[in-house]
């Protein structure tokens, strides 16, 4: 990768849109750029997958907690726990092809 050329472009007085195109032109001539981009995409995909799994665990835990018969709403509560649980259920139903509740909950796949 021609870092020197990229530095020249960045430090130039060219408008930003021209700088972007010029940098892309420099990158396009580099045979290593595709493997670098693939590494970045692979890392991003792995990270996103881990984040989704972690979110799913926490959302599953929240749903089970909110649906517990011992959780009651009161006048000081910001939101009704049953309503929040209903919204979480809608979320699982909307995205059922991609995520599943981490606990066995009636009505959810």
pLDDT digits (tens, 9 = 90+) for 90-101: 999 999 998 889
CA dihedral sign of residues 58, 64, 68, 74: positive
Alpha carbon of 86 to those of 10, 28, 74, 83, 102: distances in Å?
51, 50, 17, 5, 16
Length of the chain equals 109
> What does residue 98 show for φ and ψ, rounded to 5 degrees?
-115, -30
Q: Give residue-wise pLDDT tens across range 22-71.
A: 999 999 999 999 999 999 999 999 999 999 999 999 999 999 998 888 88
CB atoms under 10 Å from CB of 84, counted, come to 19
């Amino acid at each position: 990768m021609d870092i020197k050329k990229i530095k020249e472009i960045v430090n130039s007085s060219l408008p930003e849109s021209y700088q972007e195109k010029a940098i892309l032109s420099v990158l396009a001539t580099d045979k290593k750029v595709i493997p670098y981009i693939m590494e970045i995409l692979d890392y991003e995909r792995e990270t996103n997958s881990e984040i989704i799994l972690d979110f799913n665990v926490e959302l599953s835990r929240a749903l089970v907690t909110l649906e517990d018969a011992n959780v009651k709403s009161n006048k000081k509560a910001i939101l009704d726990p049953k309503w929040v649980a209903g919204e979480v259920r809608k979320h699982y139903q909307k995205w059922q092809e991609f995520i599943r509740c981490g606990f066995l909950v009636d009505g959810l796949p």
